[in-house]
Chains A and B, each alone.
Chain A
Amino acid sequence: MTRSPTCNAYNHSDAHGGTDLTGEPRRTTAGDADDLTHALRAGDPGAIDALYELLGRQAFGLAYRILEDGQAAEDVVQEAFLTIWRRSATLDPAKGKVSSLLMTIVHRRSIDAIRARKGLVALAPGMEPEPRNDAPTDPADIVDLSMRGDQVRQALGVLPPEQREVIDLAYFKGLTHVEISESTGTPLGTVKSRMRLALQRLKTSLSETQQ
């Protein structure tokens, strides 16, 4: 466990998602989380506890990355888990993985909060990418969750800075391509092209690392 140089109040987990009491790396998989769907549908509160054990650090890390406010991040994460619980009776494994759903809710709520804080209008409902089971490369599959973070960060790291910037501004700052164009002085067409190209390259990188 290391103290983050950029975050004084919270501990960043190590690259393997923390350690258990034996000191062994705590490795979690998306499958672990998604196996909880049936227990969630059955209304087992312990399934939420287990889901938190598996994804709590990732969820809080994502919310904090966007909000840069510990209390606000806590609120978002709590609401995301409560949302999963409230809807748990109607969770449909065929329509999405609970791990992807949780992280999508955390992202969406965080972006809503930060846009509200900045006085920006909320993004239109439905614009959040939908987790897809039929996607050829579903990142919620296969890979170890902690390794997934490493892979994605590595893939982002090799993108040209301009492409990494538009991803950061869109995904973590919640800006639209128009807002990015205005704030960076970059032509709109260029912003759109960078977004598309960046995601194409990310997809290729992630596909290669999973093979």
Chain B
Amino acid sequence: MNCHEVDELSGAYALGAVTEDEARAVADHLVGCSAHPELVDLQSTVLALAYSAPDIDPPPELRARISEAIRSEPREFAPAPREIIPPPRRLFGGWSLPRLAGLGFAAALVLLVVGLAANMQFSGGSGTSSQVVQLQDPSGSVNGTITVYTEEDLAVLEASGLQPLDEGKTYQMWALSDDAPVGIAVFEPSPDGTISTSIEADLSGVDLIAVTVEPAGGSAMPTTDPVLTGEL
């Protein structure tokens, strides 16, 4: 997407009224281009729209319900830095952490992490509220990261250079820990080989993220070797 196209889409983008592909394309463009100050203005203007709805007195019991709820609702704090001492052990399909660690590292992070609006409002204080993991790719053609927001049960996959798959195939992401691998998402990259997708999953305790090629719709267990991995 070029500057003209971004400008053309700026109103819809500010309103959150664009398709997922368009949102990704605009975000990608803004990573390396600062020529769109109007977009910030328009986004700010959209915030004002929240106040255009008539104020309405909520039912009186709502105040009490919220007040009571928060008093039993734990607050979330930035997690302590995780101790990463992965012992050598075998994983599914003959995978092991040492073997996977031997895979070539992907090139530098190139894509912007697009988080939920709320994600952007909070910081971990010490910067530990999210973990960016660079994905490893044996072929060396894929650049990508997965950003894990443990407190929010959210992960954001951003990658480029993914190979198009034959019809009837899909990429599937797995979370690996001491237990059996758990499929957490299936996805298909754009025709240009990029992917930007959010995954709702609790990844606490997960040691490794892996991506395999599976039949469309995904598999219950991995059936091929990983094409991407990332150690958490």
Chain A residues within CB distance 8 Å of chain B = 1, 4, 7, 10-13, 17-18, 43, 45, 48-49, 52, 56-58, 60-62, 64-66, 70, 73-74, 77-78, 81-83, 85-92, 95-96, 100-101, 103-108, 111, 123-132, 134-140, 145-146, 148-149, 151-153, 156, 167, 170-172, 175-178, 180, 189, 191-200, 202-203, 206
Contact = CB atoms under 8 A, between A and B. Distances in A.
Interface in B135-167: 151, 154, 156
A178 B209 CA distance: 35
A199 B15 contact: yes
A61 B53 contact: yes
Nearest to A153: B52
Given A18-B57, A192-B11, 11 more contacts: A13-B56, A104-B121, A123-B16, A127-B16, A130-B121, A131-B44, A138-B47, A189-B8, A192-B12, A195-B14, A199-B11
Nearest to A154: B52
A129 B43 contact: yes
B9 interface: yes
Interface residues of B, number: 68
A150 B122 CA distance: 30
A88 B49 CA distance: 25
B123 to A, nearest CB: 4
Interface string B82-123: 000000000000000000000000000000001111101111
Contacts of B116: 108, 125-126, 128
Contacts of A58: 50-51, 53, 55
B66 A81 contact: yes
B26 to A, nearest CB: 9
**Interface residue SS majority, chain A:** helix
A119 B205 CA distance: 34
Contacts of A103: 47, 50-51
Contacts of A203: 41-42, 44-45
A134 to B, nearest CB: 7
A137 B45 contact: yes
A107 B15 CA distance: 11
B19 interface: yes
A172 B39 CA distance: 20
